[in-house]
Chain A
Amino acid sequence: MKTEYRNWILVAGVGLGAAGLAVIAALISLPKTLTVGLMVVVCVSIAATLALLFKQGSRLQAIAHSISVGSQIKLTSHYPAGSMLKEIGSATEQFLDETNHKVKSLQNENRDVTLQLQLLNRRKDSIEAVLNSIRDAVIVTDDRDRVILANTSAERIFGFEFNRKEPQSVEDAVSSDELAWMISKSRTSRATHVRHELTIEDAEQRVTYETVLSCVEDDGGEVLQVVTVLRDITREKEIAQMKNDFVSHVSHELKTPLASINAYAEMLVDGEAEDTETVQQFCDVIQSQAQRLSRLIEDILNISRIESGLVKVSKKTHSLALVIRDAVEMITGYAQEKDVAIQSPAPILYDQVNIDRDMISQVVINLLSNAVKYTSAGGQITVDSILNEMEGKVTVTVTDTGVGIPSEDLDHVFDKFYRVKANNKYAKGTGLGLNLVKQIVETVHGGSVFVTSTPDQGSTFGFVLPLLKETVALPL
């Protein structure tokens, strides 16, 4: 309050006091001098009291202001010793000191709480970010099977939106009765680290999850939450199945020549070969079956080495035309035995490729050998290479007039151990040759393989390799 107003109020107080006393003195008819004296004394007292009250009022106002702005409260007035005001002042100062202390303490606590809250928020954000970065789905449910935490993977897999404020029941959220049952069952049985396999199937795909459920209990052993983690193991299961199939196929393929070797050797030991010609025949069978076994093992190892990246690759610049020419020469004898003609057009000049010569040679020989195997006497095989300089590619094709391949088998002929059933009667095979072709062309050389076929008319197997960027004329 401004000093001007205070003075006016002081004057008004003194005036009112004096007037009051004057009236009283007049009413009780006191002597004039005494009445006047009383009026003076009372007026002075009232004025002094009012002055003090104003002073204290101003001080309280200052204190209130200090509290509101959070600064320390100070009391610096001086009172005459032994006076009541002195005692009031001292008590007030003590009160204010304590209040100051408490305010300061509360301010410190408030600061600590604010910091802790910020820290907790940061931790919560960090934990949520970690949870959301996990590929596995994480769902936490409470003691009423309501979803109280779910990461983005869980939301994506089960197609729901996690609502922190209004938790959904797990049955509504996950749309899998089996999972909802697992969670509920885990909670009631207080199971920890229980593993289940859960398959979720829709029109597009079938996904298998390894589901691990763990209960979180309080000190009294009551289940507070169930933490469910789902990991997609579809691919792992496929690989495991492929491994089993592979072992099964390998076992079958290895046992067949081994059975012949074992049986013919036993026949020789038992003297079942009646003459030298039969003995020679048995020995030839043992030798050819041993070679077959060796080729089979070599093919399996080659595929395995390529797949695992352990194969030694020695790439150099070669002319594909020369590789084809040499391969045709190697297979000509076999083709002549079967009365199958091989046509190989004049080599193209600018077909320099960066290849492992032995491997690509193996590819061409495998394709030619297959073509001869499945082509009847009088048939024809044509080897061709097409250069596409614009795209920087060279395409090699081996076309036969053989038995052809049914359309339903075409997508699988390059698969490991795949055999076209309809063609089993024409020739024996391991089902590894074309897979080796695919591995060498695609995995080792970054090319591609293809096949087209018409049953009873013939097939065309081919592969595409990238050309060297700057080709040079080939010295033929």
Chain B
Amino acid sequence: MNKRKALVVDDEFHIVQVVSIKLKNNGFDVTTAENGSLAYDLACQDCPDIIVTDYQMPMMSGVEMIEKLRQNPETAHIPVIMLTARGFTIEDDQREQLRIAACLSKPFSPREVLQTIEDVLKQTASV
């Protein structure tokens, strides 16, 4: 059975590291990126099962990256979970439009991130 692939994107190295370790320890194949631009390239290249991304990042923000993903037929289907330190800055209609699967506010729990990823993947598989 192939490992599930996750792409973790954040400009905070420690956040990327802790989420990556949690996912790797729970059977994920993890790739990482420090900004939206690099993440988009990796997503096009690897086509991960899920993307966990920060909201605010240099070069290209999380929202800009998702917009690009949705415009590309190869990546439009990839479910995205967003981590943000700003709480409810993403309006419901924007979240719906970008098809963001879940939003988690910092400080987050790695357990919660893992559980959310599992729920989203289960939901995606059943559709």
- Residues of A at the B interface (CB closer than 8 Å) are 248, 251-252, 255-256, 258-264, 266-267, 270, 272, 274, 278, 285, 289, 421, 424-425, 428
Contacts and interface: CB of A to CB of B under 8 A. Distances in A.
Label chain A's interface by main secondary structure.
helix
B15 interface: yes
B12 A260 contact: yes
B11 A424 contact: yes
A259 B21 contact: no
B59 interface: yes
B58 interface: yes
B107 A263 contact: yes
Interface residues of B, number: 25
Interface of B: 11-12, 14-15, 17-19, 21-22, 25, 34-35, 56, 58-59, 85-87, 105-111
B86 A248 contact: yes
Contact of A263 (B11, B56, B58, B110): B110
Contacts of A259: 12, 15, 85, 106-108
A278 B111 CA distance: 18
Contacts of B34: 425
A270 B111 contact: yes
Contact of B18 (A248, A251, A252, A264): A264
A266 B15 CA distance: 13
Contacts of B108: 259, 262-263
A259 B58 CA distance: 19
Contact of A258 (B35, B87, B107): B107
A289 B14 contact: yes
The interface centre, meaning the residue of B12, B34, B35 with most chain A CB atoms within 10 A of its CB, is B12
Given A258-B107, A260-B14, A425-B59, A272 B86 contact: no
Nearest first, the 7 A-B pairs at minimum CB distance are A424-B58, A259-B107, A259-B106, A260-B14, A262-B107, A255-B85, A263-B18
A251 B86 contact: yes
A256 B10 CA distance: 11
A450 to B, nearest CB: 26
A424 to B, nearest CB: 4
Nearest to A286: B14
